[in-house]
Each structure stands twice: as structure tokens, then as C-alpha cells.
Amino acid sequence: MRDVFELKEVSKVFSHNTVLDDVSLTFKRGELHALVGENGAGKSTLIKIISGVYRADRGRLFLNGEPVQFMNPSDAQAAGISTLFQEIQEIPEMTVAENIFLRREPRYPGTFLVDRKKLRQSAKELMERLGLKIDTSAKMRELPVSTRKMVEIARAVSQKASVVIMDEPTANLNAEEMQALFQMIDDLKKEEVTIIYISHRMNEVFSLADRVSVLRDGKLIATMPGEECNEERLIPLMIGRELNSLYPARNASRGDAVLKVKDLSLGEHFGNVSFTLHKGEVLGFAGLEASGASAVTKTLFGLCGHPTGEVVCGGRKLNIKNPAESIRNGIAFLPEDRKTQGLFLNQNLLTNITAGALDSLFSKRAILHNRFERSQSGEVVRRLGVKTQGLHEHPDELSGGNQQKVLLGRWIIGSHKVLILEEPTRGVDVGAKSEIYRQINSLAEQGLAIILFSTEMPELLGMCDRVLVFSGGALTASLPKEEATQELVLKYALERHVS
């Protein structure tokens, strides 16, 4: 294998903060090279330099042995470097085909007019070649997130690049789509395309990577062959210290039943779901896209209108209508997207933390107890170990992990009975992850009943006392911790997926 891309002594400084420090790396032709590291380790900066978004302050880049300098992303694209960014970049009002060929639409020869027929044709051919069943004439906004992501991947792949950068490509994808992605990756490698792959999901890295490079605090710590990697070896390198176990033990004993759900149904989304949640229990919700797992949690919190069936919480029959009502009844909810659904980015931490208990805890006849707010939110920040200058800071000044802690802090205060967590560790680095797991345990130990919805299987298996598996809108299995394995969960998750 020859080197296709090389970085030599690359450094990048953002306002006195060195985010990349003298990194030298080579990427070989046709290899999948995984970059791993905690958030803030420098992975994103590195790929942004490779893809021309940033320019390195020091150091040089070589493409096929020639020195190159990218002034902007289109330079890098022209040189054969295609990037799949973490955030979806599509234009929602355009069709799938138009998005795939954005800014490189086929033209009528000799004119600037777009050849729509050819555009549609090429998009269809591409989908067939990649084995994707996506309607190329559908508008992007009509498609679910995971499908949009696949379109994005198809676009990156279709650019005939010699280097494809993938930043967290599997976030939001369901199992089927992941298989399709991995198939595409295989095909790309056969065509001698180099893939630079970033993922927080260690299992993916282990099974896909030819080589793995670990970054920490902007420095390259190690590069090793993929087959020599395992969690015990990588995680200490990533965090620079030993991590006893990612999933700490819990001393919670299962108490009385808190939440009894009987025959809960919501239109075509799910039907006849029944389960009981106990004090001190962490109950996992597993399922693929549209399985109903996430819809059930959202419904319980009052986000999906009126379901049929019976929900009893703390001995009271609930009339589910909106989040305010659910919070009053003791149900708290940590949404999956902290930036758009959780945080108030331009408000201070105090406001962010106390927002969920304004009526119940922090006011009397609508008058706020400012001092109590201050002491309580200060306490939460200390208890969760949020790294911050003080309560006056805004969440957008904090790292992802600390933002998530702030959001968790909102539901730690107050007398909730049930805490629903959706993807509590998405986009959070390993250190913050284990901190969040510890907090979940301590909450369970204090008697809170927790529902954990996650698409990360190891997280479900590591954290939950019981895992409920959903498929096609029905509850297909309830697996105790001792019995639950990845294979078994996946089997039940696919049970009603007739393809």
C-alpha cells in the first residue's frame, strides 16, 4: 500500500488554545483509518484541516507525495477529498437527486442549463449501484433522519474521491442502514479509496479499521493495526488514565412499582404496550427506527397527544396531554437532542437548571425564590462536576459532556418519580460518559425509576436491569440483565421487520 495522504508536523491554535500539536500522520491507499479520542482531542479539527475548512498554522499536507494547500473546502473536493460531516448538510426543499449532485449537476453540453433527465437517471443508477432503496425524486425534508444521512453518505461516496472522510457516519442510522453503509465502505476499499473514519462507537472501530490512531489533547498518542485494538487497550490511551469500568456497578434494590403501563396504544405508532417500572430500576428501551421504543417514551412524557390505554404513576391514573402535565405527575424527560430540545443556549446555567421546576420548587404564588435557585443550581453543578466558571456562564461555552450534565441537572432537582433518558450519552466523550453513568446509578440508588432509551447496545446491556425490546410498534421481549445479549436483543428487534 502506498501513502495517499500525509500530514507533517501539523499544528493549529485557536485563541491561545492549541488544539492540534505537531501531528504527523500517513493514510495509506485503500485503508480504513480510524481516528479515536475524547471530544476536544482534536479529531474534528484534524479532518477540517484535511477537508479545507481550516488551514493549519504550521506543518504541511501531501497528497500522493505532492505538497498541497487547501484554501477552502472546494479546493479539497477538487483534489479528490470528499467529506461526510457529522451534521447533515442537505437542502431540505430539494429532491434526493438534486442534493446528491449539488454544485456538480450534469449540464446540457455547452450550456449552463441543468440536464434534469440525466440528473434523475444518474441518481437512480447510483442508488442501484449502492444497493439503497431510496426514492430519488422525494424531497429531503420528507425523509426520516436516517434516510437523509444515507443520501449524504451516497453523495460523499459518489464523488469519485481518493479520500473519503466520515465523521460519525453511523449516528442516527438503524441496523439495516448500518449494514448498507458497511457494504459501501467495503466496496470503496476495493476501489482503493482511503477512508478516514471517526466514531465514538468502539465496536465499529474494532471491526472496520485497518489502522487506528489515538488523539488526546491535540497530540497523536499512538497508531496501531486494527486487529490489535480492544477497549482495554484504547480507552486508557484516549483518556490518559485507567478507567475501571465504563459501566460502574449499582447498589440499587428494586422497590415498589412506580409506573404501570397497560395496553398503551397510539395510532399506527405502537399498540398494546404493557409494562411495570419499579423504584430504583433502570429499564432499557431498545428498538430500530420506527420500532415504537422512542414513541412510547415520548408519549409517556406527553409529546404525542392522547394515547389510549392506562398509565398509573405513583398510584394515580394519568391523563396524558402535555409535558407540563407529565412533569406535574412526576415524569421527567431528557431529550435526545440537547441543543435543539433541551438547552437554552443563550441563558445562564441557573436558568437552564431550574427551568423544569419553576412552579413546583422555586416559586410561591408565581414569585421566584432567587436565592434558593442559586443555591440549588450551585449544588447541582458541584454534584455533577460540571466544568464551568460559574452559574453566569451560558451552555454554549461548555463542552458537549458538560452541557449534557447541565441538562441532567435540570431533572435531578425536584421530586420526580420517573426519569426518561433518551440517548443520554450521544456525542459525549468517554470521560463524561462514565460520569453520566455514575449519576444515573446514583439516581437509581436514591429510588428514582429510570427509562433509558438508547441506540447504543453496549450502553443498554451495561446499564439496564431489564431491556424491553420493541419491533414494528409492539413490545416483543422483556429481557432481564442476565439474559440480555446483543444477539438476543437484535433478534427481537428484527422480529416484526418483514422485509
Binding positions for other proteins, rule: CB under 8 A: 71-72, 301, 303, 322-324, 327-328, 333, 335, 340-348, 351, 355-356, 358-359, 362-363, 366-368, 370, 389-390, 392-393, 410
> Nearest-CA neighbor of 181 among 203, 207, 150?
150
Q: How far apart are the C-alpha atoms of 464 and 457, rounded to whole Å?
A: 11
Least distance CB 52 / other proteins (angstroms): 12
Least distance CB 145 / other proteins (angstroms): 16
DSSP code at position 139 = B
CA angle 18, 21, 26 (to 5 degrees): 140
Q: How far apart are the C-alpha atoms of 331 and 220, rounded to whole Å?
A: 44
Q: In what order do the strands lie in the sheet with 211-216?
A: 81-84, 163-167, 194-198, 32-36, 211-216, 219-225
Least distance CB 483 / other proteins (angstroms): 34
Q: Helix 400-412 and helix 430-445: axis angle, to 10°?
A: 10
Q: Between 107 and 321, whose beta carbon lies closer to other proteins?
A: 321
Q: Between 249 and 366, whose beta carbon lies closer to other proteins?
A: 366
Least distance CB 337 / other proteins (angstroms): 9
Q: How far apart are the C-alpha atoms of 320 and 68, rounded to whole Å?
A: 60
Q: Between 245 and 346, whose beta carbon lies closer to other proteins?
A: 346
Q: In what order do the strands lie in the sheet with 66-68?
A: 17-28, 3-14, 58-63, 66-68
Q: How far apart are the C-alpha atoms of 190 and 220, rounded to whole Å?
A: 28
Least distance CB 408 / other proteins (angstroms): 13
Q: How far apart are the C-alpha atoms of 10 and 55, rounded to whole Å?
A: 10
Q: Between 190 and 392, whose beta carbon lies closer to other proteins?
A: 392
Least distance CB 294 / other proteins (angstroms): 14
Least distance CB 48 / other proteins (angstroms): 15
Q: Between 39 and 329, whose beta carbon lies closer to other proteins?
A: 329
CA dihedral 147, 176, 490, 464 (to 10 degrees): -30
Least distance CB 56 / other proteins (angstroms): 15
Q: Which residues contact 58 (CB under 8 A, 6 or more apart)?
A: 9, 10, 11, 22
Least distance CB 55 / other proteins (angstroms): 10
Q: Which amino acid is at 278?
A: H
Q: Between 347 and 446, whose beta carbon lies closer to other proteins?
A: 347
Least distance CB 342 / other proteins (angstroms): 5
Q: Between 41 and 311, whose beta carbon lies closer to other proteins?
A: 311
Q: Between 274 and 322, whose beta carbon lies closer to other proteins?
A: 322
Least distance CB 355 / other proteins (angstroms): 4
Q: Copy the grid coordinates of residue 49.
A: 484541516
Q: How far apart are the C-alpha atoms of 159 and 442, rounded to whole Å?
A: 49
Q: Between 65 and 92, whose beta carbon lies closer to other proteins?
A: 92
Q: How far apart are the C-alpha atoms of 11 and 467, rounded to whole Å?
A: 45
Q: How far apart are the C-alpha atoms of 471 and 468, rounded to whole Å?
A: 10
Q: Between 144 and 390, whose beta carbon lies closer to other proteins?
A: 390
Three-state DSSP at 497 gives: coil
> Nearest-CA neighbor of 323 among 440, 411, 390, 443?
411
Q: Between 206 and 344, whose beta carbon lies closer to other proteins?
A: 344
Q: How far apart are the C-alpha atoms of 71 and 46, rounded to whole Å?
A: 15
